Amino acid sequence: MSQRMTLIKSPVFVSETSLKKLGSCSALFPYPRPLELEIGCGIGDFIIQIAAQRPEHNFLAIDIFNQGCRSTCSRVEESGLDNIRVMRMEARYLLHHYLGGNSLRALYINCPDPWPKKRHRKRRLVNSEFIDLALYNLENDGFLNFSTDFTDYGEDVADLLNHDPRLENLNRAPYTNDLGDYPISKYMRRFLDLQQPIYLCRYRKKPGLTIAPPSISKGFRIPWPTEDA
């Protein structure tokens, strides 16, 4: 699927060129604070709520969808929050190229593309390879949060996370439908309004682990800019 690409001019938008110049994701923010990442921020509903809840943390919101990044930037500017930056970047590319080991306090993935057809499931973002990469990037005691409206995606990811000895489950069951104070994204709201459950997994990386950088496959049909250039 092609998308209309327009230049995003916003003080909260960060290009890959700027990130390269600055040298690290933590250098994108005016104050050094623990870094949290939302993958697939859509139009920004979730990131604005979570960043407002935690002004003592920095938040990076990424998406591959240009218009989504643009809307997120406008909404961040309107919010006046100084702890959010937005990038148009593929998740695995960012994690692999720009985030080192033990660099993230928390990771959020909400309603990722479900690829519902059985033959397309291997295109899903969250799988055991992605979890290895996320665990490398997360700090010890860092948080891995995943939500989906899609039952078998929720069950599969909950099963992977729940059986991973490097993770501690923060819920009593592998996933929960009780969202508590977890902020609601646009897609989550859409499904909740249709009386459909959201499957939420909240896990914490156990302390004292040393995880080697894993190898990672490129995302489906998504080029990795610098490597392919």
Ligand X SMILES: C[S@@+](CC[C@H](N)C(=O)[O-])C[C@H]1O[C@@H](n2cnc3c(N)ncnc32)[C@H](O)[C@@H]1O
The rounded distance, in Å, linking the Cα atoms of 92 and 215 is: 10
The rounded distance, in Å, linking the Cα atoms of 214 and 216 is: 6
Which among 14-22, 71-79, 108-116, 194-202 is the span making contact with ligand X, rule CB under 6 A?
Answer: 108-116
For the bound state, the minimum distance from the C-beta of residue 106 to ligand X, rounded and expressed in Å, comes to: 15
Which residue(s) pair with 36 in the sheet?
59, 106
For the bound state, the minimum distance from the C-beta of residue 2 to ligand X, rounded and expressed in Å, comes to: 13
For the bound state, the minimum distance from the C-beta of residue 38 to ligand X, rounded and expressed in Å, comes to: 7
Catalytic residue chosen out of the listed positions 113, 141, 149, 228: 113
> How many residues touch ligand X (CB under 6 A)?
21
The reply on whether position 91 binds ligand X by CB under 6 A is yes
- Edge-to-edge strands, sheet with 167-169: 84-88, 58-63, 35-39, 104-110, 138-148, 199-205, 167-169
Concerning whether 159 is annotated as a catalytic residue, the answer is: no
Cβ nearer to ligand X, comparing 127 with 140: 127
For the bound state, the minimum distance from the C-beta of residue 214 to ligand X, rounded and expressed in Å, comes to: 17
**Rounded to 10 degrees, what is the CA torsion of 70, 39, 175, 101?**
-160
Comparing C-alpha atoms, which of 197, 200, 192, 145 is closest to residue 175?
A: 200
Where in 50-69 is the site for ligand X (CB under 6 A)? Answer: 62-65, 68
The distance in angstroms from the start CA to the end CA of the chain is 20
Tell me which residue has its CB nearest to ligand X: 40
Which residues are the active-site residues? 113
Kindly list the residues in this chain that would bind ligand X in the complex (CB under 6 A).
Answer: 39-40, 42, 62-65, 68, 90-91, 110-113, 125, 185-188, 219, 222
